[in-house]
Amino acid sequence: MKNLIKVALITIPLSLTYADSNVTGYDLLKNDPIFKHFQKMQSEMDKMFEEFHNNMFKEMKLTPALTANFSFSPDADLVDKGDKYVLKMNLAGMDKNSIKIDIKDNYLNIQAKSEDKKEEKNGDKVIFQERHLGVIQRGMTLPKDADGSKYKSDYKNGVLTITIPKNKKK
């Protein structure tokens, strides 16, 4: 407890003394052995996480056959336009001919796939790859008054638009 009070008594005057100067807290601590220890520890942790990230799947041979079964769920918006519903879904990079739309019992299922087109030449090395390659899938329940049997779809500029009319009220 006495040491804590000493630290507090020393720290408070230092912060008050340098409050109006150009000296930062870092300038005061950069030569402190404890601060240097934490800096070194942070640097080592950063290297460890970077190494883990870079080598995480290095030993796994991610072949197109393996990644073809990976899927993710794309973002979508469903808007009520009065007499119809309009769904827009981001499907950038997907092959238009691979898009499959299925509506059964008011459940909409969309699948699409993109294939890796090797643009690398001998000696090229991929630094990182973030684009999704493989299968995407999204399913959702439509509102009860949607008439899924009469939908129309369009795919432009990486966006799939599905227009679903509403059932006529009796």
- pLDDT above 60: residue 63: no
Residue 28 binned pLDDT confidence (cut-offs 50, 70, 90): low
- pLDDT above 60: residue 17: no
Fold of 71-116+132-165: Immunoglobulin-like (2.60.40)
Q: How many helices (H) and strands (E) does the chain have?
A: 4, 8
* CA 37 – CA 42 distance, rounded (Å): 9
What integer pLDDT is reported at residue 87 of this predicted model? 97
3-state secondary structure at position 61: coil
- pLDDT above 60: residue 6: no
For the segment 89-101, the average pLDDT, to the nearest whole number, is 90
* CA 74 – CA 26 distance, rounded (Å): 44
What integer pLDDT is reported at residue 39 of this predicted model? 83
For the segment 25-36, the average pLDDT, to the nearest whole number, is 73
What integer pLDDT is reported at residue 94 of this predicted model? 86
Residue 49 binned pLDDT confidence (cut-offs 50, 70, 90): confident
According to DSSP, the β-strands at 71-72 and 134-141 are parallel
Report the chain's mean pLDDT, rounded to a whole number: 76
Percent with pLDDT over 90 in the chain:
33
Domain boundaries, the chain: 2-55, 71-116+132-165
Of residues 108 and 15, more confidently modeled:
108
Choose among 118, 119, 130: nearest CA to 53.
Answer: 130
